[in-house]
Amino acid sequence: MKGLKQRWGLTSNWQLAIIFVVFAITGSASAWLSKPFCVWLGIAKEGLGHWYTPIRLLLIFPIYQVLLVAIGFLFGQFKFFWAFEKKMLRSMGLGFIFKK
C-alpha cells in the first residue's frame, strides 16, 4: 500500500481507502447502468448473439469515465480522479480530448 500511495501522491490510508471505494462503486454502477442503456438503444442479446457482450463493454466505457469523475467528486477526490482520467485516456491514445 505504501508504494501505491507514493505512486498516486496520496497522503493517508484514509484517502487510499476512499479511492478504492470510488473505484468499486464506479465499476458496479457502470455495469448496472449499461443494461438500461442497452434497452433504451434497442440493443438486445437475442438480436446480436455473441456480439452483445463486446458492444455492451464498449457502452460501459464512456459511462465508467463519466461516473468515475462524478463519484470521485462526491467523495471529495475530484482532483485525483480528474488527473487519473486524463492520464488513462492519454495512455489509450485519446489525449486529444483534453487539448485546447
Which pLDDT value is given to residue 15?
93
Interval 84-99: pLDDT, tens: 988 888 888 876 776 6
Query: What CA–CA distance (Å, rounded) separates 11 from 60?
Result: 31
Which pLDDT value is given to residue 25?
96
On the question of pLDDT at 55 being above 70, the answer is yes
The total of structural domains in the chain comes to 1
Please give the single-letter amino acid code of residue 84: F
Residue 14: helix, strand or coil by DSSP? helix
Q: Which residues make Cβ contacts (< 8 Å) with residue 30, sequence separation at least 6?
A: 60, 63, 64, 67
DSSP character string of 37-58: HHHHHT--HHHHGGGHHHHHHH
Pull the grid cell for residue 52. 452483445
Residues of the chain above pLDDT 70, percent: 95
Residue 2: which pLDDT band, with cuts at 50, 70 and 90? confident
Query: What CA–CA distance (Å, rounded) separates 73 from 18?
Result: 11
pTM: 0.80
Interval 9-38: pLDDT, tens: 888 899 999 999 999 999 999 989 888 888
Q: 19 is in which domain, residue-wise?
A: 2-98
Query: What CA–CA distance (Å, rounded) separates 29 from 82?
Result: 18
